[in-house]
């Protein structure tokens, strides 16, 4: 009888302790799904991460209006490879991605990065009791998780030429930081990048001055990009615009530049041309590089206002028609660009 | 036909519908591959070796990238995981005709070089001498051919000399000269030279061994921005038995009246006349030729020469996982999918290759070929059971594209084997494109308890193309309207399906519905923001629901 009681006590104690150790996440869904068919299956247990991801450009990679228009609603199937890729652990870390036939609308989703070929999930820890049976896969931190898509534009190659690579500071350090700065609370899954103007601002510095001869100039430097600025071929661009400093220079409008003032004039474009644009030179600003541009114009004798803007498309669309305009026909770049930095240079 | 298809469906009802999911069905990780998945082998290297060519080197090699892996905290980036392979700095893609041959160039006869340059100088000195020079070129064409080809490849040669040489080349076509001309169409910076080179290639269509220029001209078709150069590339393609450029000629000819439009129209009808074999042709003949090309009824008059096959297999090798960058893959997909029906056999053979990338991308190429790829249907049927779900799913969609009338039995048979979700979605999407798909099968999937959005959407696409009863159609449309307003799922996919349905809706209120639907859309070339897109979809969903309430 004592032996039976002892066994019962032991069983109760083991159940009690396992319940203590187990997290609410694990007990929320006790049964492994028959098949992983949607990232929505992850939501029940990982709502915070799911919500972060759902607001990210990765979640929007299939629904993004710009992409849908440019790909003719994905009738151009070449776009599917990166916009709805197969699980990375299936195709192989660092290998070129392949397109999937199912759940395309979920874009670059939970399963893309976490689903393992055996149906388990790559995670930080082993936990066979959880519904998704996470398995420790340190590769999740590697740049090769991102390179299948992002190195198509040589972003990882650019990064490898920086001191960040020497110090093993990979994509995660900037684009998936820890929520509270420590591993304890996990990493943000919004994965901020070029869609987050604050992050773009942190990548470059922008300063203006006037030399001894009175010629104004601006210097842009890639100090924290971690790769070239901007890192993309074709779509991304960063332009420098200037104009004589308006009288009401102290009052800024909603774009962040002086209210009023005249037309903006184009000074410089930073962009990697698409492969068939053979007459255009690549002007990417590599990490650690600074570039000084002088404004040699009679109108620049007085004060000047200079703006660095960031674009997710290479052209400026007419706000009324959406039709792309030639750059010299643009007078207000802020109709189709975001301000990164603004400087003013005092009159001579 | 529909009754027969419905009877064939009886044993399949378990494949979609209540009970198809859950229970003791699939394990957490469905084993890769289907029952009876066929073995793969190294088809690619074996065929390249047979044709005497090597794989093209990628700009970024996957092998190089693998060798430079690491970069986890605590790891050194300097330690390669596999054998280190230096990246070839000169590894930009080589041109198909020249690169595919692999043959070492023989030294040129100095006398023929001098003769060539003398003729060029003579023709340039006075246009009246051109006729005499051309006669000399024709008389010595065989001996002169290597020097002509070399002359066309001299990058420093001025454009006016090149144009004279190209007139010589047109008068005395040969395989080496055709290859050199094709290179010019691809690489020369001056669009008039590119247009001239394509023009000079037109008679070469009759020349033995010049077929490899087809792949080069197709590459040009993708990138050419100059209208004249595009017109002549399309015309030269047609002379080599490839009518892929007809659509471009038709588009230019239909544009605003201009010299270019007139030139495109003239060349378009030259091709139509030559294809139908008579002079008096009308618009119906032109449409017929375009339709025949699309359906695979027009093909090369003779078997593809080895040089063309070699360039095609080099393009197939571009699909391999050894090429990291997608740009080469995109080019290869573009070119291969515009080949004539003869290429289906080569692509079908590549479906047995051991490289998953090759097999998957070849299925995509075949899907894009449509019925011109019909010759690969037997291989695609086998690929439905490929060991890779990705390939099997893509094969289903390709099969529906190449054999829309005959694909259904194979798709339904595969569905009966309870394939993994991804393959199932692809099969339902593919089956939905068939005119004979049984509606009950699709309804079963659509109504399946807990069915994910992608499966329901695939079924809905097919259902809207069948003769559904009003009640069933309303059920599908109402679900699509609801999906359009959801933040997750596929609101854009649902909107696209409803948009296609709205475009065809008949009866009372159809025109009003179309006008109101269009009113919600972006104006001119405006691209909606995410918020505007959500508002557009909500408005359209409400519009659809109101239409269904009023009209039914």
Q: What residues does each domain of chain A span?
A: 39-185, 197-345
pLDDT in the model for residue B206: 77
- Cα B479 to Cα B211, B363, B389, B485, B498: the distances in Å are 52, 32, 29, 10, 11
Which phi and psi (to 5°) does residue A307 adopt? -125, 135
Tell me which residue has tokens 């375009």: B290
Which residue is associated with the tokens 């001191």? A163
Distances (CA, A) of B152 to B120, B178, B188, B190, B496: 12, 10, 11, 14, 50
pLDDT at A28: 41
pLDDT at B38: 73
Contacts of A106 in chain B (CB under 8 A): 488
Extract the residue ranges of chain A whose pLDDT is less than 70.
1-31
End residue of a domain, out of B297, B313, B338? B297
Average pLDDT over residues B477-487: 96
A7 close contact with B: CB closer than 8 A: no
Per-residue confidence (pLDDT) for residue B301, from 0 to 100: 80
Of residues A267, A194, A276, A204, the one with CA closest to residue A234 = A276
Chain A: closest CA distance from residue B28 (Å): 5
Q: How confident is the model at residue B23 (pLDDT cuts 50, 70, 90)?
A: very low
3 state SS of A187: strand
**Quick one: residue B41, left, alpha or beta (phi over 0 = left, psi -120 to 50 = alpha)?**
beta
Q: Which helix (H) or strand (E) holds B250?
A: helix B246-253
Closest alpha carbon to B111 in B137, B143, B133, B138:
B143
Identify the pLDDT of residue B210: 82
Asked whether residue B482 is domain-assigned, the answer is: no
CB-CB under 8 Å, B77 with A168: yes
User: How far is Cα A308 from Cα A292, in angstroms, rounded to an integer?
Assistant: 13
Q: What tokens appear for B376 in the block?
A: 């690969």
Between CA A230 and CA B204 the distance in angstroms is: 46
> Could you tell me how many CB contacts below 8 A there are between chain A and chain B?
172
Question: How close, in Å, is residue B230 to chain A by CA atoms?
Answer: 15
What is the C-alpha radius of gyration for chain B, rounded to an integer number of angstroms? Answer: 28
Q: Which of B408, B454, B410, B451 is nearest to B432 (CA)?
A: B408
Instruction: Compare B33 and B547 and report the one with higher pLDDT.
Output: B547
Determine the pLDDT at residue A133: 93
B191-201 vs B227-239: helix crossing angle, rounded to 10: 20
Lowest mean pLDDT among A337-341, B79-83, B413-417: B79-83
Per CATH, the number for A197-345 is: 2.20.130
Least confident segment among A28-42, B94-108, B497-511, B538-552: B94-108
Query: What is the nearest CA distance from A216 to chain B, expressed in angstroms?
Result: 37
Q: Which helix (H) or strand (E) holds B316?
A: helix B306-318
A161 touches chain B (CB under 8 A): no
Q: What is the pLDDT of residue B495?
A: 97
Q: What average pLDDT does this structure show over B140-148?
A: 95
Residue pair B184/B152 in contact by the 8 Å Cβ criterion: yes
pLDDT-derived band at B528, boundaries 50, 70, 90:
very high
Pairing of strands A265-270, A237-244: antiparallel
Residue of B nearest to A167 (CA): B73
Residue A162 tokens, joined = 């920086």
pLDDT of residue B318 exceeding 90: yes
Residue B468 CA neighbour count, 13 Å, CB half: 22
Q: Is the ipTM of this complex over 0.90?
A: no
Residue at B290 is within a domain: yes
Q: Do A152 and B327 touch (CB under 8 A)?
A: yes
Q: Do B452 and A103 touch (CB under 8 A)?
A: yes
What is the structure's pLDDT at A330?
A: 96
Domain presence at residue B214: yes
**How is residue B478 written in tokens?**
């109402």
Among A188, A218, A222, which Cα is nearest to A202's?
A: A222
B506 within domain boundaries:
yes
CA dist list (Å): A270 to A150, A239, A280, B85: 19, 6, 11, 33
What's the confidence (pLDDT) of residue B22?
A: 38
**Which residues on B lie below 8 Å from A81 (Cβ)?**
326, 329
DSSP state of A247: T
**Structure tokens of B422?**
């991804």
- Cα B474 from Cα B478, distance rounded (Å): 6
State phi, psi for A36 to the nearest 5 degrees: -85, 110
Cross-chain Cβ contact A144/B69 below 8 Å:
yes
Last residue of a domain, one of B263, B297, B331: B297
Phi, psi of A244 (to 5 degrees): -55, 140
pLDDT tens-place string over residues B186-239: 989 899 999 999 999 999 887 887 888 999 999 999 999 999 999 999 999 999
- Owning domain of residue B511: 488-552
- The first and second tokens of residue A119, run together, are 């149906």
> Given this model, what pLDDT does residue B26 score?
37
Q: Do A95 and B525 touch (CB under 8 A)?
A: no
Pairing state between β A237-244 and A134-136:
unpaired
The two structure tokens encoding residue A86? 């197969």
Has residue B531 been placed in a domain?
A: yes
A290-294, strands of its sheet edge to edge: A204-210, A216-222, A290-294
The count of structural domains within chain B is 2
Q: Does A346 touch chain B (CB under 8 A)?
A: no
Give SS3 for B292. helix
Chain B 322-361, residues with CB within 8 Å of chain A CB atoms:
323-327, 329-330, 333, 356-357, 360
Q: Is the pLDDT of residue B417 over 50?
A: yes
- Give the separation between CA B472 and CA B485, rounded to whole angstroms: 21
Confidence of residue B68 (pLDDT cuts 50, 70, 90): low
Q: Which of B263, B282, B297 is the last residue of a domain?
A: B297
Within a domain: B15: no
């Amino acid at each position: 009888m004592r032996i039976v009681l002892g066994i019962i006590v032991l069983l109760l104690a083991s159940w009690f302790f396992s319940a203590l150790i187990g997290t609410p996440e694990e007990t929320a869904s006790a049964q492994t799904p028959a098949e992983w068919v949607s990232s929505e299956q992850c939501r029940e247990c990982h709502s915070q991460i799911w919500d972060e991801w759902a607001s990210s450009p990765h979640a929007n990679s299939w629904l993004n209006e710009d992409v849908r228009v440019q790909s003719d609603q994905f009738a151009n199937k070449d776009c599917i490879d990166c916009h709805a890729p197969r699980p990375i652990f299936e195709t192989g870390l660092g290998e070129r991605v392949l397109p999937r036939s199912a759940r395309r609308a979920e874009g670059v989703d939970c399963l893309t990065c976490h689903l393992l070929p055996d149906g388990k999930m790559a995670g930080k820890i082993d936990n066979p009791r959880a519904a998704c049976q996470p398995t420790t896969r340190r590769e999740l931190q590697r740049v090769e998780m991102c390179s299948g898509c992002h190195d198509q534009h040589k972003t990882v190659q650019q990064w490898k030429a920086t001191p960040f690579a020497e110090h093993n500071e990979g994509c995660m350090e900037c684009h998936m930081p820890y929520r509270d700065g420590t591993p304890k609370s996990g990493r943000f899954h919004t994965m901020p990048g070029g869609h987050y103007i604050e992050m773009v601002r942190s990548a470059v510095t922008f300063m203006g001055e006037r030399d001894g001869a009175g010629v104004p100039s601006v210097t842009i430097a890639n100090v924290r990009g971690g790769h070239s600025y901007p890192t993309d071929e074709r779509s991304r661009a960063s332009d420098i615009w200037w104009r004589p400093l308006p009288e009401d220079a102290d009052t800024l409008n909603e774009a962040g530049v002086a209210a009023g003032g005249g037309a903006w004039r184009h000074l410089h474009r930073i962009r990697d041309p698409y492969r068939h644009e053979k007459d255009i030179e690549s002007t990417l600003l590599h990490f650690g590089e600074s570039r000084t541009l002088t404004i040699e114009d009679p109108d620049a004798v007085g004060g000047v206002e200079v703006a660095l803007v960031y674009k997710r498309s290479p052209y400026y669309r007419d706000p009324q028609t959406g039709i792309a305009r030639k750059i010299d026909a643009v007078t207000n770049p802020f109709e189709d660009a975001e301000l990164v930095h603004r400087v003013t240079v005092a009159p001579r | 036909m529909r009754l027969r298809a419905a009877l064939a469906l009886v044993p399949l009802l378990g494949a979609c519908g209540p009970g198809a999911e859950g229970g003791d069905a699939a394990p957490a990780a469905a084993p890769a591959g289907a029952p009876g998945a066929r073995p793969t082998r190294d088809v690619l290297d074996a065929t390249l070796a047979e044709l005497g060519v090597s794989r093209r080197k990628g700009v970024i090699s996957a092998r190089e990238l693998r060798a430079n892996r690491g970069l986890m905290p605590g790891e050194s980036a300097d330690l390669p995981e596999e054998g280190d392979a230096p990246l070839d700095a000169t590894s930009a893609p080589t041109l198909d005709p020249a690169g595919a041959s692999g043959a070492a160039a023989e030294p040129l006869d100095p006398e023929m070089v001098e003769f060539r340059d003398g003729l060029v100088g003579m023709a340039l000195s006075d246009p009246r001498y051109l006729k005499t020079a051309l006669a000399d070129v024709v008389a010595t064409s065989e001996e002169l051919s290597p020097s002509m080809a070399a002359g066309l490849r001299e990058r420093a040669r001025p454009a006016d000399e090149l144009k004279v040489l190209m007139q010589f080349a047109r008068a005395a076509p040969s395989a080496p000269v055709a290859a050199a001309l094709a290179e010019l169409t691809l690489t020369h910076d001056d669009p008039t030279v590119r247009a001239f080179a394509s023009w000079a290639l037109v008679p070469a269509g009759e020349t033995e061994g010049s077929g490899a220029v087809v792949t080069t001209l197709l590459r040009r078709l993708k990138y050419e921005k100059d209208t004249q150069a595009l017109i002549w590339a399309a015309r030269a393609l047609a002379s080599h038995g490839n009518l892929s450029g007809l659509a471009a000629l038709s588009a230019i000819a239909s544009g605003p009246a201009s010299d270019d439009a007139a030139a495109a129209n003239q060349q378009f009808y030259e091709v139509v006349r030559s294809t139908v074999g008579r002079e008096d042709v009308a618009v119906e003949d032109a449409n017929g030729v375009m339709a025949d090309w699309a359906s695979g009824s027009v093909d090369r008059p003779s078997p593809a020469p080895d040089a063309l096959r070699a360039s095609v297999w080099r393009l197939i090798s571009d699909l391999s996982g050894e090429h990291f960058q997608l740009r080469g893959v995109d080019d290869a997909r573009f070119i291969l999918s515009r080949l004539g029906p003869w290429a289906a056999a080569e692509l079908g053979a590549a479906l047995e290759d051991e490289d998953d990338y090759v097999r998957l991308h070849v299925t995509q190429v075949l899907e894009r070929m449509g019925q011109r790829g019909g010759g690969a249907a037997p291989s695609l049927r086998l690929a439905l059971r490929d060991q890779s779900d990705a390939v099997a799913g893509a094969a289903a969609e390709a099969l529906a594209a190449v054999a829309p009338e005959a694909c259904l039995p194979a798709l339904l048979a595969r569905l009966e084997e309870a394939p993994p979700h991804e393959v199932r979605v692809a099969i339902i999407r593919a089956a939905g494109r068939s005119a004979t798909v049984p509606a009950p099968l699709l309804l079963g999937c659509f109504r399946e308890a807990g069915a994910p959005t992608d499966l329901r959407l695939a079924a809905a696409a097919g259902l809207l193309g069948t003769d559904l009863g009003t009640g069933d159609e309303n059920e599908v449309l109402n679900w699509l309207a609801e999906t359009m307003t959801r933040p997750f799922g596929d609101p854009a996919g649902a909107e696209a399906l409803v948009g296609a349905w709205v475009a065809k809706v008949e009866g009372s209120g159809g025109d009003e519905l179309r006008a109101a639907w269009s009113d919600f859309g972006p104006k001119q070339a405006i691209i909606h923001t995410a918020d505007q897109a959500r508002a557009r979809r909500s408005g359209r969903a409400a519009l659809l629901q109101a239409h269904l309430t009023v009209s039914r």
